A and B are shown apart, each in its own frame.
Chain A
Amino acid sequence: MSIQKQAYKALEMVVGSKYISDDPAICEGYRSGPGGYESGLGYERVMTTIPGTVVLPRTTEEVQKIVKICNRYKVAYVPYSTGFYGPRSHCHVENELLIDLKRMNDFEIDEKHFYIVVGSGVVYSPIQQEALNKGAYVVIGGGGAQASAIANLIGDGWSPLSHRIGLPHRRILGTELVLPDGEVVRMGSLAEGSDPFWGDGPGPDLRGLLRGFTGLRGCLGIVTKMAIKTLPFQPEPLVPTGIAPNTALALPPKRVKWVNFQMPSKAAQVKAMFEVGKAEIAGAVTKVPLFWRAIAKAECKEEFWEIWGKETEETIKNFFIVRVLLVGYTSEEQMQYDENVLNDIMTELGGIPRPTKPSDESWIKNADSAGMWLMCGSYVSVDYIIESLSQATQHGEHYADLKRKYTPPLMPDNGDPGWFQSFELGHQGYSEFLVYWDQDEDTTGVDQFYLETAKMNIRERFYTSLLGPHQPLYLTGPKYGPNYHEWLLKVKDAFDPLWVCHPPVPLAHDDFVNRAEWMHPLKDWESPKKLPMPKW
C-alpha cells in the first residue's frame, strides 16, 4: 500500500524521483524491529507498521513543502533521523509517509563563539571529533554516538559528562522547527534573523514546548536545524587505539583521566558525588550497574554470562563504585589540583582507589549504547529521574523490587538498582533504570512492568522524566502537573489540528493499552471511551 497517487506525485515534484519510493522492499527496510530499543514488545507489534512511502528531503524548504502536501492530502507522516529510537520513532498508522532526514547532514562549526550548527541527519561522533579538533567538546547522549544529535537533544541529551556540561536545554541554541502544518518557527537568535548563537529568543522560550523533559517523539513538528553549544576542552589529542571490537581512546594522562573508587556504602557514594560537585571539580561523576562492567570485560555473550553468573545478591548489594573523569581543562596544574581535591574527598568518605585503564572506551567520543543489547538481545530504559542527588538515587531499589515480580522474562540481575550520577556539578542527580530480556521469550511481563513503573511512581510520589508519550497520558496526566495531559493535548490540537504529525502520539501508549488485551487487567485509571484524536 502507498499513499494517495496525487500526494505521491506532488512529493516527487519536491524531492525528485530518486528520493521517494513506495516499493515494498524499500519500505520493508524501514520496519521497526524486531530488534532494537524497546523492540520485540507489544507496543511494537500492536502499534507499528511499515511506511506506505518513504521520502528523503535535503533542505528545510523541502521538508516544509512535504509537510504542507501531507496537510493538503491528509497523509500521516513521521519524521525519522536514524531510526534508532525503536518503535516510537517508526510509522504507527497504515499508508503513512516516513520522512527520512538522513540527507539533511549540513554541518558548521563556529570555534570563536563555541557552537556548531547541524542538520537532523548528523550523528554525534563526527560532531565530537570536529569539536575536539577545535579544542571544544559536547555531550554525546546516552542514546549513543550513532544517535542524531538533534533527535537526541529534543528527547534526552545527557550523559555522565553532564556533570559539568549540564542539561541539554541549556545547550540548544538557535533552532529551526517545521511545525506540523508546514510553517517554520525559528527559535533563539534565529528568530531575529541573526546567527544561531543564542538559545533564548524574544517572547516565551519555545524550547520547553519542543522537548519538555524527554521530548514528544516527533509529534509536534520536525526540527531541521539546530545550533548546539560546545564548551572548551583541553588541547591534548585523544588517540584512537586498537582494532575493533577492542578499541579505545588513549588519554593524555596529565590532562584526562578516569578514576574509580570503591566506596563503603551507597550513602558514601551519593555523598561523594555531592562533595565532588560542591568542590566544582571533575568532568563526570557516575555509578554504573555492575553488569556494564561485565559487558566491558566479556569477549562475547557467552563469556558475559559466565562472568555475571559469579555475582550474587550480596556482591551487587556491596558494589559501590564511583567513577570520576578528571579533565585538566585549563592546565596540568588544574588537573593535579582536581585530583588532590578528589583524593581528599574520597579519603574522608572511605573511598579506595581502584586500578583504572588510561583510556576511554565509552562516553567521550564513543557512547556505547549498542553494547546494552549484548546480554539478552533486548533492552529499554523504563525510567529516568532528574531530581536532587539525594532524591534521584532513592528510586533504584524500588524498581529492583518491582522488577522481581517480572523476572522472568526480565533478566535476572540480583536486584541491581540501576545507574545514577551527578548532573550540573551536583545540583541535580540522575537515575536511570534499564531492563533487559530475550525477545524470543513471552514478553507480556515486560509490557506490564513498563506500565507498572508509572503506577509505582505515582503511588510512591516519585518524580519521573518519562511522562508525555512514554506512558498512557490519562494515567500520568492527572497526577502530574496537575493535569498536564490536558495542556499537552491542547498544544497538539493547536499546532496540529489534523493530527497528521506522527499520529496517534502523544496518545499512542493509551491506544496501545486499549488495543492490547494483555494490558487490560492493568487499566485502573479513567480515560475517555474514545480517545480525543482523529481515527486513521
Chain B
Amino acid sequence: MRKDEMYDTPKKKVALDVNDLNNFVYDMDHCIKCKGCYWVEHTYMPGVNFSTRCPSNLWNDFDSYGAFGKMRIGLALNEGKLQWTDKLLEIIYADPLCGACDVGCKRNLDLEIELTLEALRVKAVKDGAGPMPVHKKIAKNIASKHNQFGSPSDNRKKWLAKDINVAEKADMLYFAGCSASYANPDIAKATAKVLNASGNKFMLMQEEWCCGNTLYSVGMIDDARELAKRNIDAVKASGAKTLVTSCAECYRMWKVDYPKMLNIATADLGFKVLHLIEVADEAIKNGKLKLTKPVDVRFTYHDSCGVSRLSDPWTPWNGERGWMGTVSPALKRRRGTTGLYTQSRNILNAIPGAKFVEMPRIRENAFCCGAGRGTKEAFPDLAKFAANHRLDEVKSVSAEVLVSACPWCKSNFNDAVKENGDNVKIMDISEIILASVEI
C-alpha cells in the first residue's frame, strides 16, 4: 500500500502489557462472535461429539462465559458501564485460562484473547474486587509457607528417595513445583529417575519456592512479580544453565509469564527453561535414554495447556497501531505453534508394547482438564465437569490409561476417576517413561 493511499488514521500507542486493560481495547472491540474460541478448529472438527474447545462456556451456556462474551464485558467494564458483582467475578474467574480461545482466534483474527483475559483479572484485583476468597487464601499460603497448600516448607523435598542421584552442582536444575513436591511425589520421583537414566546430572534449588502460577493467573501481578524476581535470582545464583520442570503450569510460568511480568524476552532470562518432555525426547533421539521395557497398555495423551498452546516464548512488544489496525514495529504473534506437540508424541510412540491412540481433540485443539490457574480451588464444579468431559473422550477411544504432562491435570483427572469409579488409569508422562526404562 503506497503511503499516499493510506487514510490519515491516528496512531495509538499500544503494548502487550496486562497491567492496563486499555492495551487490549482493539482486541475486545474486534471480536466478531465467530466463536473460533469455542469450536474446535473446523478443519479438525471431529463431528457432533467433542466439537468444542472451551471448558467455561461448555460448563455454563450463556455467551458471557465464552471469550466472545468476555470481550464485550471487558469493554463495558473498561468504559465504566458495568460494575463488579459476584456474577461478574464468577464469569471472569470460572475459567482455566487454557488458551484454547487464543489459538482459536488466532486461526483468523490474531486478537490477543488470552492477554485480555489476564488483564481483566489484573483489573479485578486493582479495582479491589478480585480475586476469589480462596485465591487470597492460596496467596497467604505462598507468602507464609512458599507453597500453594500451606504445607510446611520442610516437607518440600520429602519426595527425594535414596535411589535418586542429585548433584551438588550441575548445569541442570530440576524445579519440581508445589504439586509434584507435595501432592504428586511420584511425578517428582519419576522425573528425577528419568533424568538420572538419561545421564543428565541435575541439582535442586537450595530452597524451592512456589512459582507463583496462581498469583499471576488470578491477577495478583505485583505479588507474582516479586516471586518471579526471587526465583530467577535463585536460579542465577545456583549457576544453572537450564531449568527443567515436570509441571506444565510451572513451565508456562517460568518460560512465558516471568518474562512477561518483567518485560524481558524468554531468551533474556539467563537460563533455558525446559520441560521433561524436551529433555527426554532429546535423550531418546541421541540414544542416551533407552525405552526398552514393554508397557502393555492402550493409552492416550492429553496435551496439557502449559506445554502446548500456551508455551510459545515471550517477547516484549510495544509500538503503535494505525492504518486498518496494523501495528508497528513488526509483531510476531504467539499462536501456540511451538507447543511440545511433536516431542511428547515422539516419546509416547517410542514406548515398546504400548498402543498409543489419539483422542479426537489433540494438540492446540485439546480440551483443558479444567484444573489450572486457580479454577479448581474456586470452582471445583467446573474443574470436575471439564475433567469428566475429557474422560468421556478418553473412553471414546477405548484407552485404559490417560497420560498427561502436568501434575495438576493428573490430580484433577484422578479426582474425577475416583468419584466416578471409572477404570481409566491416570499417569504422568514421567511415570510412563520410567515404566519403560530398565533401571
Interface set of A (CB-CB < 8 Å, partner B): 19, 21, 23-26, 28-31, 34-37, 39, 54, 56, 82-84, 100, 102-103, 105, 107, 122-130, 133, 144-146, 240, 242-245, 247-249, 300-302, 305, 308-309, 365-371, 373-377, 408-409, 411-412, 438-441
Point out the residue from B61, B72, B85 that lies within 8 Å of A100, measured CB to CB.
B61
Contacts A129-B47, A438-B9: A146 and B36 contacting too (C-beta < 8 A)?
yes
Q: Which residues of B contact A441 (CB under 8 A)?
A: 7, 9
Contact A82 B35, beta carbon cutoff 8 Å: yes
Kindly identify which residue among A26, A301, A365, A412 contacts B87, using a CB–CB cutoff of 8 Å.
Answer: A26
Stretch at the interface among B24-32, B198-206, B286-294, B397-405: B24-32
- B:306-354 near A, CB below 8 Å: 323-328, 330-331, 333, 335-337, 341
Residue of B nearest to A245 (CB): B107
**13 interchain pairs, CB-CB under 8 A:** A30-B72, A35-B33, A100-B61, A107-B48, A244-B103, A244-B104, A245-B106, A301-B325, A305-B326, A367-B42, A370-B32, A376-B324, A411-B324
Chain A interface, >50% SS class: loop
Tell whether A28 pairs with B64 under 8 Å between CB atoms, given A300-B333, A301-B325, A411-B324.
yes
Closest to A243 in B: B337
The answer on a CB contact under 8 Å between A125 and B42 is yes
Q: A28-B81, A34-B30, A439-B30 are in contact. List 9 more A-B contacts (CB 8 A).
A: A25-B87, A26-B64, A29-B70, A56-B61, A240-B43, A240-B44, A244-B336, A309-B1, A438-B324
Please, how many angstroms separate the alpha-carbon atoms of A151 and B345 in the complex? 40
Give the contacts of B61-120 with A (CB-CB under 8 A): 61-66, 68-70, 72-73, 75-76, 81-82, 85, 87-88, 91, 103-104, 106-110
With a CB–CB cut-off of 8 A, which chain B residues contact A19? 61
CB distance from A505 to the nearest CB of B (A): 19
Within 8 A of A (CB), among B392-418: none
Q: CA A248 – CA B5 in complex, angstroms? A: 34
Top 6 nearest A-B pairs (CB, nearest first) are A29-B69, A29-B64, A309-B1, A145-B42, A366-B42, A125-B42
Are A244 and B33 closer than 8 Å at their CB atoms? no
B41 at interface, CB cutoff 8 A: yes
The answer to whether B33 and A377 have CB atoms under 8 Å apart is no
Once A26-B87, A370-B108 are accepted as A-B contacts, the answer to whether A144 and B47 lie under 8 Å apart by CB is no
A81 to chain B, nearest CB (A): 11
Known pairs A243-B364, A300-B333, A302-B327; A309 contacts B72 (CB<8 A): no
| B162: interface (CB < 8 Å) | no
Contact yes or no, A130 B47, CB < 8 A: yes
A366 to B87, CA, bound (A): 35
Complex: how many Å from CA A82 to CA B36? 12
Q: Which residues of A contact B46 (CB under 8 A)?
A: 126, 129
List of A residues within 8 angstroms of B66 by Cβ: 29
CA distance A302 to B326 in the complex (A): 6
Given A29-B62, A34-B29, A35-B30 in contact, is the A374-B48 Cβ separation under 8 Å? no
Which of A30, A107, A249 is within 8 Å of B63, CB to CB? A30
Question: Does B110 contact A36, Cβ atoms closer than 8 Å?
Answer: no
A28 and B73 contact, CB distance less than 8 A: yes
- Asked if B30 contacts A377 (CB within 8 A), the reply is yes
Are A368's CB and B39's CB within 8 A?
Answer: no
CB contacts (< 8 Å) of B331 on chain A: these are 300, 302
Closest B residue, CB atoms, query A106:
B48
Instruction: Check if B33 sits within 8 Å of A373, measured CB to CB.
Output: no
Write the chain B residue with the least CB distance to A305. Answer: B1
Cβ of B15 < 8 Å from any Cβ of A? no
A56 to B64, CA, bound (A): 13
**Is B45 close to A, CB under 8 A?**
yes
* Interchain CA distance A56-B330 in the complex, whole Å: 43
Does B193 touch A at the CB level, under 8 Å? no
CB proximity of A145 to chain B, nearest CB, Å? 4
A129–B32 CB distance below 8 A = no
B384 at the interface (CB under 8 A from A): no
* Minimum CB–CB distance for A36 against chain B, Å: 4
Q: Does B146 contact A (CB under 8 A)?
A: no
A31 — nearest CB in chain B belongs to which residue?
B72
In the complex, what distance in Å separates the CA atom of A447 from the CA atom of B132? 45
B134 interfacial by beta-carbon distance below 8 Å: no
Nearest CB in chain B to that of A375: its residue: B324
In Å, the complex CA distance between A138 and B85 comes to 45
Listed in ascending order, the chain B residues whose CB lies under 8 Å from chain A are: 1-2, 5, 7, 9, 29-36, 39, 41-48, 51, 61-66, 68-70, 72-73, 75-76, 81-82, 85, 87-88, 91, 103-104, 106-110, 323-328, 330-331, 333, 335-337, 341, 363-365
Candidates A26, A103, A245; contact of B335 at CB < 8 Å: A245
In the bound complex, CA of A37 to CA of B39 (Å): 18
Bound complex: CA A243 to CA B41 (Å): 10
Report A-chain residues with C-beta under 8 Å of the C-beta of B76. Answer: 28, 31
Cβ-defined contact, A125 with B45, below 8 A: yes
How far apart sit A56 and B63, CA to CA, in the bound complex (Å)?
Answer: 11
When distances are taken between beta carbons in the complex, the residues of chain A under 8 Å from B9 are 438, 440-441
B339: nearest residue on chain A (CB-CB)? A243
- Kindly state the separation between the CA atoms of A368 and B107 in the bound complex, as whole angstroms: 10
Pairwise interchain contact B335-A244, C-beta atoms closer than 8 A: yes
CB pair B91–A25 under 8 Å, yes or no, is yes
Contact of A438 with B325 at beta-carbon distance under 8 Å, contacts A23-B87, A29-B69, A366-B43 already known: yes
Give bound CA distance, A15 to B265, whole Å. Answer: 50
Is there contact, CB below 8 Å, between B45 and A129?
A: yes
What B residues does A26 contact at CB under 8 A? 62, 64, 87, 91
Whole-angstrom distance between the Cβ of B98 and the nearest chain A Cβ: 15
Q: How far is the CB of B1 from chain A (nearest CB, A)?
A: 4
Point out the residues of chain B lying under 8 angstroms from A103, CB to CB: 61
Which single member of A37, A305, A370 contacts B36 (CB below 8 Å)?
A370
State whether A439 touches B62 (Cβ < 8 A): no
Give min CB distance, A175 to chain B, whole Å: 19
A373 lies within 8 A of B1 (CB):
no
Contact of A29 with B72 in the complex, beta carbons under 8 Å? yes
Bound Cα distance from A35 to B35, whole angstroms:
12
Q: Is the CB of A439 within 8 A of B29?
A: yes
Please report the C-alpha to C-alpha distance between residue A172 and residue B256 in the assembled complex, in whole angstroms.
50
Q: A25-B64, A129-B45 are in contact. Are A373 and B30 (CB under 8 A)?
A: yes
Minimum CB distance partner of B36 in chain A: A370
CA distance A441 to B322 in the complex (A): 11
A245→B45 contact, CB < 8 A = no
Closest Cβ–Cβ distance, residue A298 to chain B (whole Å): 10
The answer on a CB contact under 8 Å between B91 and A37 is no
Which A residue sits closest to B40, measured CB to CB? A125
Chain B residues whose CB sits within 8 angstroms of the CB of A28 once the complex forms: 64, 69, 72-73, 76, 81-82
With A25-B73, A25-B82 known as contacts, the answer to whether A84 contacts B34 (CB < 8 A) is yes
- Once bound together, how far apart are the Cα atoms of A439 and B31, in whole Å? 12
Residue of B nearest to A299 (CB): B333
A412-B327 in contact (CB<8A) = no
The CB with the most chain B CB atoms within 10 A, among A82, A122, A124, A375, is that of A82
Q: Is the CB of B32 within 8 A of A146?
A: no
Cα distance A126–B50 when bound, in Å?
Answer: 9
For B44, what are the chain A residues with a Cβ–Cβ distance below 8 Å? 240, 247
| Residue in A closest to B321 when the chains form the complex, CB atoms | A440
A126-B45, A244-B364, A376-B325 known; A370+B34 contact, CB < 8 A? yes
Q: How far is the CA of A248 from the CA of B47 in the complex (A)?
A: 16
Q: How far is the CB of A439 from chain B (nearest CB, A)?
A: 7
**Whole-angstrom distance between the alpha carbons of A243 and B104 in the complex?**
11
**Is the beta-carbon distance between B48 and A126 smaller than 8 angstroms?**
yes
* Chain A residue with the shortest CB-CB distance to B329: A302
Q: Roughly how many angstroms separate A371 CA and B103 CA in the complex, as a whole number?
A: 14
* A30 in contact with B69 (CB, 8 Å): yes
Inter-chain contact A409/B63, CB cutoff 8 Å? no
| Min CB gap A363→B, angstroms | 11
Give Cα distance in the complex from A133 to B32, angstroms: 30
In this complex, the member of B2, B47, B73, B76 whose beta carbon has the largest number of chain A beta carbons within 10 angstroms is B47
